[in-house]
A and B are shown apart, each in its own frame.
Chain A
Amino acid sequence: MPAELKLENVSRHFDETKAVDNVSLSIAPGQFVGVIGRSGAGKSTMLRLVNRLIDPTSGSISFDGVEITKLKGKELRNWRRDCAMIFQQFNLVERLDVLTNVLIGRLAEHGFASSMAMHFTDEERTMALQALDRLDLVPQALQRAGTLSGGQQQRVAIAKALVQQPKIMLADEPIASLDPANATKVMDGLRQINRQDKITVLVNLHTLDTARAYCDRIVAMRAGRVMFDGTALQLTDDVVRDIYGLEGLAEFNEAVTSTQGLKVPA
């Protein structure tokens, strides 16, 4: 299958802890995959491994048949451009305006001089504005990113990811710092990108119902290992209990961890 993301026996150790322990996954193009699990289960580490913000201790990650773990220099930067990353804390430059923040997504295409001069072409600006328009942020384009609300900042981050023209979009707890209304907007944005642009989305979530609502496929991790890999329907209460280690809990109520329960009209 073309453009498939493949993880084979990938491990990452931090001293004694195995953050990611022998994970093998293969993700087909265009899938919307949710990764769930408790904090510290290795979800973030796994995404960072794919984007090469950290390197694996062992194992192989490949995309479209190209080995990712061996990439260096320009090729590595091109790979990072191809698999855009969205962070829980947005990771925008708060003191720069929204437009420039989005244009940062174009830096992989720039040489030293134009990048240092913050010089972008008109085509790139048009591209950035189109991306902002898709996320309803054009009016804020010249505002400083730091003055925006959390939900708006996360949508700026998505617009930045879009102008990278990625093949995969990785999102690390993108809605964990957002209120339910904004969380819905961000998740809807990701779904729209997944469906319209056919971009593979791999998203870490800590709320089950969000995963059920948006994801074609759910991967559950516990202590660095993949414990479950299937559809939302296959994710039964027993499986959930196993993943979250809620054996002691008599009754598990999904709504408690929900971000969807309070649907506020925007």
Chain B
Amino acid sequence: MTAIPDTPPLRPIDQFELDYAALRRRSRITWLVAAIIFFAFFTFSAWLGDFFKVTQVTLPDGSRDWRWIIPAGIPRLGEFIVKTIPSLSWDTLGADLGEWFWRWKVWMNLLIETILIAFMATVFGVIGGFVLSFPAARNLAPNKWSLWISRRYLEIARTVPELVWALIFVFCFSVGPMAGVLAIGLHATGALGKLYSEVNENIDMRPLEGVKASGGTWFDQIRYGAVPQVLPNIISYTLLRFEINVRSSSIIGYVGAGGLGQEFREALSLQEYTDLSALFIIIFVTVIVIDFGSEKLRHRIIGIEKGPAT
């Protein structure tokens, strides 16, 4: 026994210092372990992804040599970009631009198609996601099996990428925008249903109890208790999804599901690199305009929500 019987009991403040030091030590160890695991995982992923690969490249003097892939590949990005830039000169700017955007009539039609695909897909996604988000929310599901079924359906719908859905629907309904609408709409159902159901899981349950206590059905509880609470979030997520869907629908034509994507495919296979840059500019401008517009709209909706409520 080495205990000293007459050690005075620690003052609370000293005890706190001891506890605090121990807490600090523990959290530092946790951080260190987490950092090591993260770094190891990251390095392993990079190695798997060929980030450390050494490859043979042709040097400017024509000889071949071994080089690390990253510095060897970066200059080729520049090469690619140079290829896609058309030759524009100030004197003949109009004619050059005309030549650059030579298929503008086709592209404008396809752009409209792209936006309409995104719009229709968003409508389908909102309907499907909204309806399923209530049985898919743990706090609202009327029973276990409807929770299970709706959750699995939403998972499948969003796990399969749009391009894969598009391939399947092109097979079913042939080439054209309908396959694109269904593909993006189905994927959006899964994504939106998940987001909506998470919003649903965070609502205040007391209004629903109030409706239930008045003799309301499950649907009444959802309609009166839940929907008014989640509506602003749903509008916000929906606009965000529309932006995402425009991006998706501009590439989905790559597999024949309508929109501008088919032009990308054609330009790449025919090596019409300047067409690629023209298409890129068209999509870029469209996405910026839609992002800007929907952001304005979302802020207005949030502003209305927070505004004077009389």
Binding site for B on A (CB under 8 A): 51, 53, 77-81, 84-85, 87, 89-96, 100, 104-105, 107-108, 110, 112, 115-116, 118, 143-144, 146-147, 157, 160-161, 164
Question: Cβ of B220: which chain A residues have Cβ within 8 Å of it?
Answer: 104, 107, 110, 115
Docked Cα-Cα span, A42 to B136, in Å, equals: 33
Question: Cβ of A89: which chain B residues have Cβ within 8 Å of it?
Answer: 206
Is there contact, CB below 8 Å, between A85 and B228?
A: no
Minimal beta-carbon separation of A114 from chain B (angstroms) = 11
Docked Cα-Cα span, A84 to B210, in Å, equals: 10
Is there contact, CB below 8 Å, between B310 and A143?
A: yes
User: Is B207 interfacial (CB 8 A cutoff)?
Assistant: yes
Say which one of B6-14, B103-111, B211-219, B239-247 lies at the interface with A: B211-219
Is there contact, CB below 8 Å, between B215 and A164?
A: yes
Docked Cα-Cα span, A85 to B209, in Å, equals: 10
Smallest Cβ-Cβ distance to A117: which chain B residue: B223
Is there contact, CB below 8 Å, between A116 and B213?
A: no
Question: Cβ of A110: which chain B residues have Cβ within 8 Å of it?
Answer: 220
Question: Cβ of B177: which chain A residues have Cβ within 8 Å of it?
Answer: none
- Which residue of B207, B210, B223 is within 8 Å of A115 (Cβ)? B223
Question: Cβ of B310: which chain A residues have Cβ within 8 Å of it?
Answer: 143, 147
Given contacts A80-B213, A92-B210, 13 further A-B contacts (CB under 8 A): A53-B209, A53-B212, A77-B217, A78-B215, A80-B212, A84-B213, A85-B213, A90-B210, A91-B210, A107-B214, A108-B216, A112-B217, A116-B223
Tally A-B pairs: CB < 8 A. 88
- Beyond A77-B215, A80-B215, whether A95 also contacts B228 by CB under 8 A is yes
Smallest Cβ-Cβ distance to B231: which chain A residue: A95
Smallest Cβ-Cβ distance to B305: which chain A residue: A95
Question: Cβ of A100: which chain B residues have Cβ within 8 Å of it?
Answer: 224
Question: Cβ of A107: which chain B residues have Cβ within 8 Å of it?
Answer: 211, 214-217, 220, 224
Docked Cα-Cα span, A107 to B212, in Å, equals: 10
Interface of B is mostly: helix
Smallest Cβ-Cβ distance to B308: which chain A residue: A147
Smallest Cβ-Cβ distance to A106: which chain B residue: B214
Binding site for A on B (CB under 8 A): 206-207, 209-217, 219-220, 223-225, 228-229, 231, 309-310
- Beyond A91-B206, A146-B309, whether A96 also contacts B213 by CB under 8 A is no
Question: Cβ of A79: which chain B residues have Cβ within 8 Å of it?
Answer: 215
Question: Cβ of A118: which chain B residues have Cβ within 8 Å of it?
Answer: 223-224
Docked Cα-Cα span, A11 to B215, in Å, equals: 24
Docked Cα-Cα span, A115 to B223, in Å, equals: 8
Question: Cβ of A157: which chain B residues have Cβ within 8 Å of it?
Answer: 210
Question: Cβ of B224: which chain A residues have Cβ within 8 Å of it?
Answer: 93, 96, 100, 104, 107, 118
Docked Cα-Cα span, A115 to B224, in Å, equals: 9
Docked Cα-Cα span, A160 to B224, in Å, equals: 14
- Which residue of A93, A105, A108 is within 8 Å of B207 (Cβ)? A93
Task: Sample 20 A-B pairs with CB under 8 A, ordered by A number.
Answer: A53-B209, A53-B212, A77-B216, A78-B215, A80-B214, A81-B214, A84-B214, A87-B213, A91-B207, A93-B228, A93-B229, A94-B207, A95-B231, A107-B211, A107-B217, A115-B223, A143-B309, A147-B309, A160-B210, A160-B214
Minimal beta-carbon separation of B303 from chain A (angstroms) = 16
Minimal beta-carbon separation of A167 from chain B (angstroms) = 13
Minimal beta-carbon separation of A241 from chain B (angstroms) = 34
- Which residue of A77, A93, A116, A144 is within 8 Å of B309 (Cβ)? A144
Question: Cβ of B210: which chain A residues have Cβ within 8 Å of it?
Answer: 87, 90-93, 104, 157, 160
Docked Cα-Cα span, A79 to B212, in Å, equals: 11
Question: Cβ of B215: which chain A residues have Cβ within 8 Å of it?
Answer: 77-81, 107-108, 164
Docked Cα-Cα span, A99 to B224, in Å, equals: 13
Docked Cα-Cα span, A92 to B210, in Å, equals: 6
Docked Cα-Cα span, A107 to B214, in Å, equals: 7
Smallest Cβ-Cβ distance to A85: which chain B residue: B213
- Which residue of B211, B219, B231, B309 is within 8 Å of A104 (Cβ)? B211
- Beyond A93-B224, A96-B228, A107-B224, whether A51 also contacts B213 by CB under 8 A is yes
Question: Cβ of B207: which chain A residues have Cβ within 8 Å of it?
Answer: 91-94
Question: Cβ of A96: which chain B residues have Cβ within 8 Å of it?
Answer: 224, 228
Question: Cβ of A77: which chain B residues have Cβ within 8 Å of it?
Answer: 215-217
Docked Cα-Cα span, A80 to B219, in Å, equals: 16
Question: Cβ of A147: which chain B residues have Cβ within 8 Å of it?
Answer: 309-310
Docked Cα-Cα span, A44 to B211, in Å, equals: 18
Docked Cα-Cα span, A137 to B209, in Å, equals: 23
